[in-house]
Homo-oligomer: A and B are copies of this chain.
């Protein structure tokens, strides 16, 4: 059992969260994809019109006091909308720093997000996972995660900036 507590993220956490975002991108084998900066993360999460919410797990010392500058994990999520079910929540990222895996921190974060879904009356919690990431898939299946790409053949599609520019020319 790890000694940690979960709380909502604050503006001051953004530099550390960005460090964890970069760790996750490395783990997902796309380290060069992170265009994010601390300033943008602060503005978009804690400005006038928040675009996301975030939870963090911080380490506690033996007396139960938090250790500053020691975030162990974060979860970042936001509202999405199903025209069938109404408001839902999308879990964009859930990441535990490698040294602190398998201590129940990820589970505690995931459970807290599920709790928020229930409290807010959301009927679905969604996310995406890389098919090769068997560790994450095992984790999600434990909580009843359903692979909608397998079950109903939903595929993720995207256009990026270059394609958009062509369309709007």
Contacts and interface: CB of A to CB of B under 8 A. Distances in A.
Interface string A79-99: 111111111001011000000
Given A86-B35, A90-B80, A93-B83, A155 B150 contact: yes
Interface stretch (A5-13, A65-73, A115-123): A115-123
Given A132-B153, A154-B130, A156-B128, A84 B52 contact: no
A21 B85 CA distance: 11
A1 interface: no
A35 to B, nearest CB: 6
Nearest to A160: B124
A129 B157 contact: yes
A81 B78 contact: yes
Contacts of A114: 159, 163-164, 167-168
A25 interface: yes
A85 B30 CA distance: 13
A17 to B, nearest CB: 8
A35 B36 CA distance: 37
A16 B139 CA distance: 42
A38 to B, nearest CB: 12
A148 B158 contact: yes
A54 to B, nearest CB: 9
A155 B143 CA distance: 17
A150 to B, nearest CB: 7
Given A51-B87, A76-B81, A118 B164 contact: yes
